[in-house]
């Protein structure tokens, strides 16, 4: 057993950049499909969310499914910013609001910053006032 040479650990061969690019070029479709899937998922979710948001108004929107009226509806929607309002409501539903403890901490931080900044401005103003009075009045 002592006669056998110690086997060197096998290391995995790392592909060069050229080899990687050649293998990637051989199958570009999958990469494109992955990108298309990742883009279409949020779009589908947003579309479903818009449908849910408009569900209570479906009886009112029934006439707008007719082609000539649809054009008028799109124009009115752009003028009245309906899409903007719908997307704003959806975005507000996604907001996570801070709890009472976090709100207190952030409020204290804002007040402290305002006090310190105000003090710095007051000190600077006082110093410049004294300097200009000495220069201009002497």
Output the CA angle 112-115-121, nearest 5 degrees. 140
Of the chain, the percentage scoring pLDDT greater than 70 comes to 62
Under the banding of pLDDT at 50, 70 and 90, the label for residue 57 is low
The token pair that represents 22 in the structure block: 């050649």
**pLDDT at residue number 131:** 93
Across 115-126, b (16+ Cβ under 10 Å) vs e yields eeeeeeeeeeee
The token duo for 72 is 């008028």
Q: Please give the structure tokens belonging to residue 31.
A: 């990469």
Looking at the chain, the whole-number percentage of residues with pLDDT higher than 90 is: 26
Residue 132 confidence class, pLDDT cut points 50, 70, 90 = very high
Closest to 93 in 3D by CA, of 36, 134, 60, 46: 46
Check pLDDT > 60 for residue 71. Answer: yes
Render pLDDT for 3-52 as a digit per residue (tens, 0 to 9).
556 566 677 787 777 777 777 666 655 555 565 566 566 666 666 666 66
Does the pLDDT of residue 86 top 70, yes or no?
yes
Q: Which two tokens stand for residue 46?
A: 């947003």
Half-sphere exposure at residue 69, Cβ-oriented, CA atoms within 13 angstroms = 7
What is d(CA 64, CA 48) in angstroms, rounded to the nearest whole number? 19
Question: Do residues 98 and 106 touch, judged by C-beta distance below 8 A?
Answer: yes
Sequence spans of domains, the chain: 23-95, 97-138
CA 125 – CA 56 distance, rounded (Å): 59
Is 10 in a helix, a strand, or coil? Answer: coil
């Amino acid at each position: 057993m002592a006669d056998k040479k110690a086997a060197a650990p096998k290391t995995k061969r790392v592909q060069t950049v050229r080899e990687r690019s050649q293998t990637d070029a051989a199958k570009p479709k999958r990469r494109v499909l992955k990108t298309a899937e990742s883009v279409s998922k949020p779009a589908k979710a947003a579309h479903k969310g818009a449908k849910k948001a408009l569900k209570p108004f479906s009886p009112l929107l029934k006439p707008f499914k007719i082609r000539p009226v649809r054009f008028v509806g799109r124009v009115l929607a752009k003028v009245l910013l309906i899409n903007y309002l719908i997307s704003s409501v959806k975005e507000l539903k996604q907001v996570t609001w801070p709890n009472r403890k976090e709100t207190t901490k952030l409020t204290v931080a804002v007040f402290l910053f305002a006090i310190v900044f105000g003090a710095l401005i007051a000190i600077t103003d006082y110093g410049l006032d004294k300097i200009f009075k000495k220069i201009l009045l002497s």
